[in-house]
Amino acid sequence: MEYTQEQIHEIVSAQREFFRTGETLDVKWRIRQLKKLKQAVIDNAEMLQNALYEDLGKSPTEAYLCDIGPVIVEINEILRGLKRWAKPEKHYSGLMCFPSISTTVYKMPYGVSLIISPFNFPVLLTLGVLAASISGGNTAVIKASSKSAASTRALQKLIAGIFPAEYVTLIDGGHDVADMCLTERFDKIFYTGSPAVARHIMEAASRHLTSVALELGGETGNWCVIRKDANLKDAARKIVFIKLCNAGQICININQIAVAREIAEEFLTLLKEEFIRQIGDHPENNPEYPRLITDAVYDKCVRLTEQYSERVVFGGTGNKEACRFAPTVIYPICAEEEIVLHELFCPILPVVPFDDEAIHKLTDMIAEREHPLAMYVFTSDMKWAKAFMSTQQYGGGCINEVCIHMMVKGVPFNGTGHSGMGAYHGEWGFREFTHLQTVLKGRTHFNLPLREHPYSGSTGKKKMALLKLFEK
């Protein structure tokens, strides 16, 4: 459908009018909407799987594992905790406020939210964020990706089937439609995508001082560090899994590996063997292997492979017609080369050797670059690993594992700096889509003149003595 600015304005206005009715403030009402959403996902799982295959070539299992199933898990977590999270908090006001001793903190929705979702996990990163918005009591306009057109159509049908447009509506279209949305005044914007677009969104949001949450891949990509004492077979197995998943088109994927020079050749051998074990000799011809979203991404893979052709140690082949490109390992790469200075978002995997005894040089270099969304380390030295992971700045990560930190219940998923701001999942999503209002209940009797003039003379001295007493 072609949209005009007037139509977008009407959608936002209708949602603002509906929000002002106060219907979304009722937590029980929100729970009913979440249950509708969950049931719709279950009932339409096959439609969503088919759409994900059409857009990204995801097999039914991968589609459910990475896109559909996690939405159901997310909604279940919200349903279990929402009443508790949304309950107003009671606080003792303190002696400074006497005799008004009771203060309440209300968790209020922002109002009309705008969710701009990406192509790579179009179901999870649309409906998962929508669930958070609903939990907070907001209405939602969703601008889904035009690149994953089949998934956008499926989501549009699913949402229109359970929610009125004045509550939740999904619109399609390209950047022009997104810009029309950004022209409107929203109360909360949640964007998932690239840092470059995030800057544009923040600039637009600043005109209305709109609260923004960003989930970004990071300007210079996510690092995986493999020390010489790591279990290399285990590391190779897990790294191959995440690099094959969605053909590398994941914001928390490994952008580059830093491997100790002492064990680099052994690790590369195990890595190649593991790729073959999991996906076969020619993944570009394997229908189970996801495809790239556009020809432009495929062409980028070809260009990088040709640029570093002398250092391609695995892969480097593609199927243009199917838009599949094999996972491609490039070694050795210097940490200062262009290929590791930007997020790749594809199946290309540069490998950077380092001297294990000089690990501090590597970690200092990583710290100097833009903060990644994910950080992974493989080592048997838990003292070093914990020290490293607790002093670096990044969104989230794993020790001797990859990516599944985002599946843990009760913890936030977020980025920092160039990898984002804000957080969601479970209670953290509820917090992201609510703002806190502090209300003190005043008393009409026994009010002390402490705060009132005069502040000088003997009266002022008495008041000063009382103020210092109350501070204790």
Name which of 118, 44, 155, 95 is nearest 293 in CA terms: 118
Name which of 22, 131, 135 is nearest 84 in CA terms: 135
Residue type for 44, please?
Answer: N
Q: Where are the alpha helices (DSSP H) in 137-250?
A: 149-160, 175-183, 195-206, 232-244
Report how far residue 191's alpha carbon sits from residue 115's, in angstroms, rounded to the nearest whole number: 6
Report how far residue 191's alpha carbon sits from residue 213's, in angstroms, rounded to the nearest whole number: 6
CA dihedral 318, 248, 292, 218 (to 10 degrees): -130
DSSP classification of residue 404: G
CA angle 145, 113, 207 (to 5 degrees): 95
Token look-up 């905790």 returns 81
Quote the crossing angle between the two packed helices 27-43 and 45-56, to the nearest 10°: 70
C-alpha distance from residue 217 to each of 118, 345, 346, 395 (Å)? 12, 9, 12, 10
Three-state DSSP class for residue 446: coil
Which are the catalytic amino acids? 215, 251
